[in-house]
Structure 1
Amino acid sequence: MRVVSLVPSLTEAVAVSLPGVLAGATDWCTHPADLGVPRVGGTKNPGLDRVLALAPDLVVANEEENREPDLAALRAAGVEVLVTEVRNVPQAFRELERVLRACGADARPRWLDEAEDVWSRLSPPRRRRTAVVPVWRRPWMVLGRDTFAGDVLARLGVDHLYATHPERYPRVPAEELLAAAPDVVVLPDEPYRFTAGDGPEAFPGLPCALVSGRHLTWYGPSLAEAPRVLGAALRAAVR
């Protein structure tokens, strides 16, 4: 089995679960660090010729991270493409199992069972907090409705204020975000790399939590430690 992954989360899941199966990955696939496979470009602009040159038996993709025209072109070239949809934590576990089965796994990997157990044993938060969650700036964009990262935060006791917005990633001026007066501004380091000097300065007077994008937005082995890592960052910001 030869698999090309166009999704960083799935790349990590396949690499740690089925050594030797992964034949290619995107430039954004940073885990595991020693991946050692050819790169095929970005998630939004993969080099289709490079993908085809790797002669994959299967390409794994995601309906949000990858563009349908690229996936259609791969199918037209005779490549099987598996497209995932992940909007919440339980769906992530189901889709991960489906992907790994398609890649040749004959059983669920231990890390997947452990991650699911971690999330199932979460204690109800003593206090719920509100947040805005920018994912880009210039223009400012935030989490809106029906997102995996939003569900992750909700399960950790953080309700983001644009969860009912008609758009999944609405553009909202920084002035409006500031006026919303959330308990905390959650700033991940991807897709936009927010840092201490590039994000918090836009929200004077509001607590800001700089968090790992891999733990907030990836659905893979990082799920096992995400509650602990994200919880610590949030507690530090609002203590």
Structure 2
Amino acid sequence: MPLVRGPLRVVSLVPSLTEAVAVTVPGALVGATDWCSHPADLDVTRVGGTKNPDVPRIVALAPDLVVANEEENRAPDLAALRVAGIEVLVTEVRTLPQAFQELTRVLAACGAGRRPGWLAEAEAAWRELPVPPVPLRAAVPIWRRPWMVVGRDTFAGDLLARLGVANAYAAHAERYPRVPVEELCAAELDLVVLPDEPYRFTRDDGPEAFPAHLPTALVSGRHLTWYGPSLAEAPAVLGAALSAAR
């Protein structure tokens, strides 16, 4: 008799891909990083961080596939998994169209029989955006001590541009440059966008560093930087936060 193959065993090293796989292909995930917080009831083996995954633990899970990202995960870790005989699918996501393409590829590789409804809803939500008003020139810090901002060729920058926010550092040579807060305060900005991840900016931690006349928008980092089911509601969530700060 032919052997009956069970469902694919997948380990995800990217929080947004973890959520996408978990809600689309239930039961496929057997491992995820400590930072994979969605879905909230995710019950899988934790394999360390995105930058320092426990390679032996991943190998012990005997996955058919590990899904990763060229920005979030380190090449040496992915190479070690390949040496151990594990297939690794590496995504690159720097624009919204890339996100949709890569999500389709990842979900198909993980055993999804068809494109999920949430992905079609996300595409429609972004396609049906109203024409943005005159763009606001903004800086988008993602860390402090030292201060770091979103620079060129980033997914977050692309999303904000579609919502009428022009990244003041979009032409910087680096993708996530370090910029002293004094320089940020002196720049001719209309707005500062402060997400709650990777650094958790709050009303009491971030806005006080900027001049009182300069509006600051506190936004959901998951909706700004994750490419997964959150994309369906991201235009409304981010748009509301930006409008409140205008």
The bucket for the TM-score relative to the shorter chain is: over 0.9
The aligned runs of 1:103-122 (5 Å cut-off) are: 103-122=110-129
Residue 10 of structure 2, aligned match among 3, 9, 14:
3
TM-superposition CA deviations, 1:143-170 (whole Å, max 9, x none): 0000000000000000010000000000
Q: 4+ residue runs of structure 1 moved beyond 3 angstroms?
A: none
| Structure 2: stretches of 5+ with no match in the other structure | 1-7
Residue equivalent to 2:100: 93
Bigger radius of gyration:
2
Q: How far apart are residue 6 of structure 1 and its match?
A: 0.1
Structure 2 Cα separation of the partners of residues 107 and 9 of structure 1: 19
Structure 2 Cα separation of the partners of residues 74 and 30 of structure 1: 23
1:35 to 2:38 alignment: no
Structure 2 Cα separation of the partners of residues 133 and 155 of structure 1: 15
Residue equivalent to 2:174: 167
Structure 1 Cα separation of the partners of residues 190 and 238 of structure 2: 16
Structure 2 Cα separation of the partners of residues 45 and 137 of structure 1: 22
| Structure 1: stretches of 5+ with no match in the other structure | none
Residue equivalent to 1:223: 231
Structure 1 Cα separation of the partners of residues 26 and 113 of structure 2: 14
Residue equivalent to 1:72: 79
The aligned runs of 1:55-204 (5 Å cut-off) are: 55-204=62-211
State TM-score, norm by structure 2: 0.96
Structure 2 Cα separation of the partners of residues 111 and 55 of structure 1: 29
1:232 to 2:240 alignment: yes
Structure 1 Cα separation of the partners of residues 144 and 133 of structure 2: 32
AA at the equivalent of 1:168? R
User: Tell me, what secondary structure is at the counterpart of 2:235?
Assistant: helix
Structure 1 Cα separation of the partners of residues 183 and 198 of structure 2: 21
1:211 to 2:219 alignment: yes
Residues paired across the two proteins, number: 238
State TM-score, norm by structure 1: 0.98
Q: How far apart are residue 204 of structure 1 and its match?
A: 2.0
Q: How far apart are residue 181 of structure 1 and its match?
A: 2.9
Cα root mean square deviation, aligned: 0.6
Q: How far apart are residue 108 of structure 1 and its match?
A: 0.4
Q: How far apart are residue 198 of structure 1 and its match?
A: 1.0
User: Tell me, what secondary structure is at the counterpart of 1:187?
Assistant: strand
User: Tell me, what secondary structure is at the counterpart of 2:100?
Assistant: helix
Q: How far apart are residue 176 of structure 1 and its match?
A: 0.5
User: Tell me, what secondary structure is at the counterpart of 2:197?
Assistant: coil
